[in-house]
Structure 1
């Protein structure tokens, strides 16, 4: 079972547009409403892959109730933490050429009692977990050290932790040695304090995160593929994608693919790449089912193209 923790979930509305013209009335060609937040997306992807998951998340107000209903309709077990504030609502504008514009609300503040209940719910739900995936931004009331505390508690309970966050929350959590961290290129660049222009730059940054405490680094490089750096070595994976429809949740789908394949080694990286590639071919934040995957389009190698320039350099 994969337990996910999403401290700042959302209700996500995605509009598909032919083109975004600022200041004009734009008519959407498609609309979706999905439960959102990185951990929520991981749970949705794990469920789509046919595995059990439990999603821990604070929920409040009408948006929170709708998030719970949508997850229940998808067969996802929810361990809700009731809060007084309303769950945030986010908007994504997906243009026909693949450009995505996101508008993310800040989210509610949690009271001291709600913060403690969130930690206690994770503790109670983690007994049967093979992995805990802690994902996304923190609400305004949670200190950057909150993830570090959660990692320490999970390790005390003997559960492996995968962490997908950024900024001070990531750096502080590294001291507690999370088993896997999953930054994208921008988050890698932010963590090491310098721009990344090549795959080799990303490898070096990932190695530095391991020196700071990460057991393994699964790095998403967008159209340039993914990296896995761990005790056994470094692997590079990519996949052929003919057309990108939406990259919302693609990184979360990759993390789910990595964890359902065991969370270790090049086979898990291949699963991560396959899930991420499938996700970008789907609308909104739809998560791929096994039939959407194309393992034959995935390449994983230990011969990392260090000099390859990133098509989207990270600054």
Structure 2
């Protein structure tokens, strides 16, 4: 079982337009609404594949009630921690070629008591979890060391914790030594403080983090696939999607597949292949929809234990 913590969840509204022209009135070709936030997306992806998961998240205002209703409809077990503020509404504008424009609200201003309640709920629902996963940005008012505190508490009782975030919360969490981190290309560059133009640069940055106490660094690289690095291995996986519909939530689905593979006893390479498959399937779907088992069919994944590290990466 995998428990996720999403301190700043959202209602994700995807609006489909033929073309986005700034300052003009548009007639949408369609829209959809999904529960959102990185940890929520991880749990949604796991639940869609029949894997056991519980999502812990703050809920407040009409948007919070809608979020819980959407999670119920998706069959995602969840623990909603009541907060005074309203859950945010994020809007994605999607064009036919896959170009996505996002407008993300800041989210509710959490109090110290509300943050403590989130941590307590996460620890309470993860005593027997294979992984505890903390993902995404923090709500205003939440301390930058929230994830670091979770890492320390989970490690203290012998559990495994994975982090997918950015900026100060990610840096603080890394200092607390989670078992696994899943930055994307830009987040890893931000974390190490310099650009990473090639696969070898990503590999070297990941190895530095391994030397600092992280066991697994999995870097999502968009169209360039993903790189998984441990003390003993460097593995690259890639799936080519010729006509992506939406990249929203693809990295979250990749993390979900990776952790599902690891918690199922698969090798690192098999788990990475599963993650890349789930992430690739996600970009074939509209909005932030997560893939079902049927959506995974027919997507080949290339896996290499000896990748060409001289490869230049897309930006």
Structures share fold, TM-score greater than 0.5: yes
Alignment map for 1:160-309 (pairs within 5 Å): 160-262=160-262, 265-294=268-297, 297-309=300-312
CA distance in 2, matches of 1:220, 1:212: 20
Residue 291 of structure 1 and its aligned partner are, at CA, apart by: 1.5
Q: Is the 8 A contact 2:281 2:299 kept in 1?
A: no
Give the CA RMSD over aligned residues: 1.2
Q: Is the 8 A contact 2:3 2:133 kept in 1?
A: yes
- Cα deviation, 1:203-254, whole Å, max 9, x if unaligned, reads 1121122223321111001001100001221001001212100000000000
Give the secondary-structure state (helix, strand or coil) at the position aligned to 1:201. Answer: helix
Alignment map for 1:66-145 (pairs within 5 Å): 66-145=66-145
**Residue correspondences, number:** 312
- TM-score when normalising by structure 1: 0.96
Q: Is the 8 A contact 1:185 1:221 kept in 2?
A: yes
Alignment map for 1:29-44 (pairs within 5 Å): 29-44=29-44
Residue 268 of structure 1 and its aligned partner are, at CA, apart by: 0.4
- TM-score when normalising by structure 2: 0.96
Mean Cα deviation higher: 283-292 or 56-65: 283-292
CA distance in 2, matches of 1:238, 1:280: 13
Higher strand share: 1
Residue 177 of structure 1 and its aligned partner are, at CA, apart by: 1.4
Q: Is the 8 A contact 2:246 2:288 kept in 1?
A: yes
Q: Is the 8 A contact 1:274 1:295 kept in 2?
A: no
- Segments of structure 1 that go 5 or more residues without pairing to the other structure are none
Moved over 4 A (4+): none
Q: Is the 8 A contact 1:17 1:27 kept in 2?
A: yes
* Structure 2 residue 3 is matched with structure 1 residue 3: yes
Residue 98 of structure 1 and its aligned partner are, at CA, apart by: 1.2
Q: Is the 8 A contact 2:97 2:243 kept in 1?
A: no
Rate the CA distance shift 1:296–1:44 in 2: closer, same or farther, 3 A.
closer
Q: Is the 8 A contact 2:131 2:161 kept in 1?
A: yes
Mean Cα deviation higher: 53-62 or 106-115: 106-115
- Segments of structure 2 that go 5 or more residues without pairing to the other structure are none
CA distance in 1, matches of 2:271, 2:232: 13
CA distance in 1, matches of 2:128, 2:28: 43
